[in-house]
Amino acid sequence: MQTYFSTLAMSMVATLSLLFMSACHSNSNSGSSNSIKKANFGKTKAGEATEIYTLKNANGVIAKVTTYGATLVELHLPDKAGKLADVVNGFDNVAGYEGDGNQYFGCTTGRVCNRIAKGKFTLDGKEYTLATNNDPNHLHGGGDKAISKQVWKATPMTGKAAVVFTLTSPDGEEGYPGNLNMKVTYTLTDENELRISYEATTDKATPINLTNHAYFNLGGAGSGTILDHELTLNADHFTPVDDTLIPTGKINPVAGTELDFRTSHAIGERIPDKGVAKTEDCKTSTLGYDHNFVINVPSGESVALAARLKDPKSGRVMEIYTDQPAIQFYSGNFLKNQTGKGGKTYPFRGALCLETQHNPDSVNHPNFPSTILRPGETYRTTTVHRFSAE
């Protein structure tokens, strides 16, 4: 089926390859007024110092990232009248991130994001057991030593608005095998893109699935719900899940279901508190969307336009390009009026996540693309968030 979106995605392909290449090679922003500033973000409960870096591009777009969890804390974008608003959920300091209200806001999530059934997997004949921190499953890398809860080392880059975060997760941490060396780079370009690139190496075979867990409300974080936001997903298929949000292993078409976002739909349109679920296999709770979609990648390409999100009121638009095979669309179902930055509150469905990744529980589903990284290999992936207003 040739939708408007897939046509758009195909016409973007050439641009995309260039875009990704420039992400890797271009280091010069000469003539622009990009800048990076560093500040204190407070001490963790364990007494570790954290920092926050402010990246600013030539158009005045601002992104702030902290060493705690290599987390995106703020993102200030212009609306159609040029007015800036911070569009991501977060907290004013590290204490907020360590508090109960934090639902992975903006963090680098892993070692394996999303769920692993019952916290178990077998790799090369050996069974591994992980924390079941989302009863009965493992979620987003586990407990206190999950990479989203650790303080990363930051190195600002010269000549552009970019920061590189590094962290080594030792062999056995949170139950995962191998010393895993990770590098996450945030780059804010003068094309109003936020690029997030990941790299990792290991000394033992291990599953890896890194993502960013930013919660977006393009009307401004804390400005209400995202039910009016219009979403397009470049996905013909999704992975149905059981009652605990673990994939059954099927890869089903979205056609004829409430998960068909191949043309733009307002998010609230099909979840009017009756739940998303009308079709047997897309069932989840009545809370809203929490589904994993298989991204359509044009043949011969490795990168695709995965999602387009628009807030009709402010006119802000976000497009997400990625080399990852899947995207989790989560409609803020567990938000419950947490108090965040500047005293703003984040209501139920007050923000949404579009997390590029491999399918959940891939380590237990040989029919899904592999998430195993082996010694000698380098894990490399990039997701680009491109912002505009119309």
Residues near ligand GLA, by CB under 6 A: 103-104, 114, 139, 245, 290, 328, 330, 334, 353, 355
In the complex, least distance from residue 330 CB atom to ligand GLA, rounded to whole angstroms? 4
Q: How far is residue 381's CA from residue 278's CA, in Å, rounded to a whole number?
A: 35
| Residue placing its CB nearer to ligand GLA in the complex, 27 or 244 | 244
In the complex, least distance from residue 291 CB atom to ligand GLA, rounded to whole angstroms? 8
Which token pair is 247? 């994939």
Catalytic one of 237, 355, 365, 385 = 355
| Residue placing its CB nearer to ligand GLA in the complex, 97 or 104 | 104
Q: How far is residue 387's CA from residue 308's CA, in Å, rounded to a whole number?
A: 10
Which token pair is 328? 């989790």
Q: How far is residue 201's CA from residue 116's CA, in Å, rounded to a whole number?
A: 21
In the complex, least distance from residue 246 CB atom to ligand GLA, rounded to whole angstroms? 11
Identify residue 156 by its one-letter amino acid code: P
| Residue placing its CB nearer to ligand GLA in the complex, 175 or 360 | 360
Q: How far is residue 56's CA from residue 188's CA, in Å, rounded to a whole number?
A: 7
Q: In whole angstroms, how far apart are CA 185 and each of 155, 194, 324, 357, 381?
A: 9, 10, 16, 16, 11
SS3 253: strand
| Residue placing its CB nearer to ligand GLA in the complex, 166 or 339 | 339
Tell me the residue nearest to ligand GLA as measured from the CB.
330
> Is residue 48 annotated as part of the catalytic site, yes or no?
no
Q: In whole angstroms, how far apart are CA 246 and each of 226, 242, 348?
A: 25, 5, 23
Q: How far is residue 289's CA from residue 360's CA, in Å, rounded to a whole number?
A: 15
| Residue placing its CB nearer to ligand GLA in the complex, 54 or 209 | 209
Other Cβ atoms closer than 10 A to 76:
17
CA angle 387, 388, 390 (to 5 degrees): 150
Only one residue has tokens 């567990």, namely: 334
List residues bridging with 238 in a β-sheet.
Answer: 252, 293
CA angle 329, 318, 58 (to 5 degrees): 140
How many Cα atoms sit within 13 Å of 53 on the Cβ side? Answer: 27
Q: How far is residue 61's CA from residue 80's CA, in Å, rounded to a whole number?
A: 14
Q: What is the DSSP letter of 363?
A: G
Altogether, the residues listed in the chain come to a count of: 390
| Residue placing its CB nearer to ligand GLA in the complex, 104 or 121 | 104
| Residue placing its CB nearer to ligand GLA in the complex, 114 or 150 | 114
> Is residue 213 annotated as part of the catalytic site, yes or no?
yes
In the complex, least distance from residue 139 CB atom to ligand GLA, rounded to whole angstroms? 6
In the complex, least distance from residue 333 CB atom to ligand GLA, rounded to whole angstroms? 7
In the complex, least distance from residue 353 CB atom to ligand GLA, rounded to whole angstroms? 5
Catalytic one of 138, 140, 213, 358 = 213
In the complex, least distance from residue 364 CB atom to ligand GLA, rounded to whole angstroms? 17
| Catalytic residue set | 213, 355
